[in-house]
Structure 1
Amino acid sequence: MSDLLDDDLEFRGGTLQLSADHVPSESVENQQGNVSENPARRKPPSNVNPSVLSGADSLTSSTSSFADARNEEQMNATAATPTESVKTVYPRYDVPFNKENIKDFFTFRKGVVETAIQECITALLFPEDGEYLGSWLLTEITLWDNEKERIVLLTSRLVMTIKYDFIAMKQLDFKKTYLDDLDTIVIGELVYPQSSLVPERNLRGVRLMWNKGEPVPLKTVWNPFSQDVPFLTFASHPIFWHKEGGLEEKVTYDMETFAQKLQRAIECMPSSACCIHHSPIVIQSYVGLTSLLHNKTSMGFFKVRGKFSF
């Protein structure tokens, strides 16, 4: 009889042990009165200050990784459940330009961009400028929110921005920005202040800054012809969204590729104190009637305009 009781107790003990093992971890935590909240479950704050002109501490910084927006969108689309909707960011260029108007751009013609870039590399780059890393045709967005067509050359020492006449096929002007002078690089969506009346761009860009956290002087802000603006802002060229072929054929017009190579160049400079942020880029434009007209008519690009070309 005692043997049977012992066996019964052992069986019951084993049953209790099995039941305890199968209790969900969340239930065990809920039964404990003083269990602290798991930090991994906390949601990050959504009201991040998008100001980038002074390199504020509220920006998310990254010094060793580059997140391509296209890869992020693909990952989000794969991970999303059928009930979730993935917000696609469409470039603003899809509205004013189509496959027919984009052919009016002189840079859309075969061989024009390649010839111009090669000419600039030969004429403007010297051994003391460092190792050549890449070249692009991008859209520069000025302080006054005007879009300009620019050739951009990147070396291990500098970024060269070139104004080029794609009709006469000659270089008009250029500017060198040394990587040692940069203190902040911001990569993210182009946005306007909350009180701005300018429509949203839905476009990503990259901004190179060397103002060391100081605000832009008023004499520069109110002068549309000022050459002392302490930052450069680039976006992808309109041709990027209309060029046929894969990414390899579009890479010359792609801001993301330029930003990626720029970050690698910065990281290869041990003496550089430049901080790289992934955050919205604020364009200080509030009414923007002049810039809207300028950008709508693509005055910053060389193209055929009826009987004229400029």
Structure 2
Amino acid sequence: MSDLLDDDLEFRGGTLQLSTEVVSPDTSGQNQNNPNQSESITNQPKANVNPSVLSGADSLSSSSSSFADARESRANGATAETSEPAQPVYPRYDIPFDKENIKDFFTYRRGVVENAIQECITGLLFPEDGEYLGSWLLTEITLWDNEKERIVLLTSRLVMTIKYDFIAMKQLEFKKTYLDDLDTIVIGELVYPPSSLVPERNLRGVRLMWNKGEPVPMKTVWNPFSQDVPFITFASHPVFWHKEGELEDKATYDMEVFAQKLQRAIETMPSSACCIHHSPIVIQSYVGLTSILHNKASMGFFKVRGKFSF
């Protein structure tokens, strides 16, 4: 029954477009007050006020020092004007599900995720796949804005996304995405177009893209069963918000940790031309009735549902 409910139909419309318009900040007043600062102000990076509708990218960086977890950066900004030590401050997240509901998830049970990941590593990874770098249980957000529970394995050559049955404890299907094929990675808040009726998620994610800047073909956009979507989007798994312990204890469910290690893997590949963007990720959903029902009922996750489990 889970396989039948994974694919939901929804009428969607929209236009994918890229914008590169940039606007320089107004520093004329500052230059008049302090002429000695004119040269340093002129060299400041420009800001993009019209992020790409496809990727939401408005800034480009491939430096490891440029990556900053939003939880840490906001904490540093909040304490910059005080002498108190910095404390971790979370962004404005909408925590998925509640403490009682999360206990129905099979992945909340002790040892289930660890055993599943070990099985996938043993059965699916081979020496030619490169050096093993890490494994996670994350939420995949599809082109149609449906949330799916996925095991993610990262090596020095690829990202493997695995659909796993946590009830029967077996692999169902998997997909390999090679790092050499990636041309863009976007890390930031998940947002919807201005004209969308879908409520904001208030959640961060990471998107891996290999479309070389081209819009998604219409035959793919309008086909909910298409396997040719040139990007994949991940967010933290719901268990992350409810599992007890420090951030290190919840790293298996944390998208931020995956994004950090993915960026480092890209930067250590001399042949990679992939660009790292830190900006909002646009989800092209305008009405989203089907996806809202799908995600609210957590149909993409294996859990106990009354007298049934699927």
Answer yes or no: same fold by TM over 0.5: yes
2:224 counterpart residue number: 224
Over the residues paired in the alignment, what is the CA RMSD in angstroms?
2.4
Letter in 1 for 2:54: L
Residues 287 and 40 (structure 1 numbering): CA distance in 2 closer, same or farther, change over 3 Å? farther
2:209 counterpart residue number: 209
Residues 139 and 39 (structure 1 numbering): CA distance in 2 closer, same or farther, change over 3 Å? farther
Going by fraction, where is helix more abundant, 1 or 2?
1
SS in 2 for 1:49: coil
What CA distance in whole angstroms lies between the structure 2 residues aligned with 1:61 and 1:55? 14
Letter in 1 for 2:91: V
Consecutive unaligned residues of structure 1, counting only runs of 5 or more, are: 1-28
Letter in 2 for 1:70: R
SS in 2 for 1:100: helix
Shift of 1:181: 0.3
Alignment deviations for residues 77-98 of structure 1 (CA, whole Å, 9 cap, x no partner): 212569xxxx96332234xx11
Alignment deviations for residues 141-184 of structure 1 (CA, whole Å, 9 cap, x no partner): 00000000000000000000000000000000000000000000
User: How many corresponding residue pairs?
Assistant: 273
1:284 counterpart residue number: 284
SS in 1 for 2:189: strand
What CA distance in whole angstroms lies between the structure 2 residues aligned with 1:185 and 1:246? 27
2:138 counterpart residue number: 138
Alignment deviations for residues 195-235 of structure 1 (CA, whole Å, 9 cap, x no partner): 11111111000000000011100010011111000001000
Note the 1:71-150 alignment, pairs <5 A.
71-80=72-81, 89-94=91-96, 97-150=97-150
Shift of 1:295: 0.6
What CA distance in whole angstroms lies between the structure 1 residues aligned with 2:73 and 2:53? 22
Shift of 1:76: 1.7
Shift of 1:274: 0.5
SS in 1 for 2:187: strand
1:273 counterpart residue number: 273
Shift of 1:113: 0.0
* 8 Å contact from structure 1 (residues 50, 282) kept in 2: no
Shift of 1:102: 0.5
Q: TM-score with structure 1 length normalisation?
A: 0.82
* 8 Å contact from structure 2 (residues 102, 242) kept in 1: yes
Shift of 1:129: 0.3
* 8 Å contact from structure 2 (residues 133, 154) kept in 1: yes
2:14 counterpart residue number: none
* 8 Å contact from structure 2 (residues 141, 147) kept in 1: yes
* 8 Å contact from structure 1 (residues 54, 215) kept in 2: no
Consecutive unaligned residues of structure 2, counting only runs of 5 or more, are: 1-31, 84-88
SS in 2 for 1:79: coil
1:186 counterpart residue number: 186
Alignment deviations for residues 20-42 of structure 1 (CA, whole Å, 9 cap, x no partner): xxxxxxxxx75x9xx47646668
Shift of 1:54: 6.2
What CA distance in whole angstroms lies between the structure 1 residues aligned with 2:260 and 2:149? 20
Alignment deviations for residues 229-264 of structure 1 (CA, whole Å, 9 cap, x no partner): 000100000111101000121000000000000001
2:62 counterpart residue number: 62
SS in 2 for 1:148: strand
Note the 1:31-70 alignment, pairs <5 A.
35=35, 38=38, 48-51=49-52, 53=54, 58-65=58-65, 66-70=67-71
Residues 39 and 49 (structure 1 numbering): CA distance in 2 closer, same or farther, change over 3 Å? farther
Percent identity of paired positions between Structure 1 and Structure 2: 82
Alignment deviations for residues 46-92 of structure 1 (CA, whole Å, 9 cap, x no partner): 76223263686x4333333311111112112212569xxxx963322
Alignment deviations for residues 99-129 of structure 1 (CA, whole Å, 9 cap, x no partner): 1111000000000000000000000000000
What CA distance in whole angstroms lies between the structure 1 residues aligned with 2:55 and 2:249? 36
Residues 113 and 257 (structure 1 numbering): CA distance in 2 closer, same or farther, change over 3 Å? same
What CA distance in whole angstroms lies between the structure 1 residues aligned with 2:195 and 2:163? 33
Letter in 2 for 1:68: D
What CA distance in whole angstroms lies between the structure 2 residues aligned with 1:236 and 1:112? 18
Alignment deviations for residues 4-33 of structure 1 (CA, whole Å, 9 cap, x no partner): xxxxxxxxxxxxxxxxxxxxxxxxx75x9x
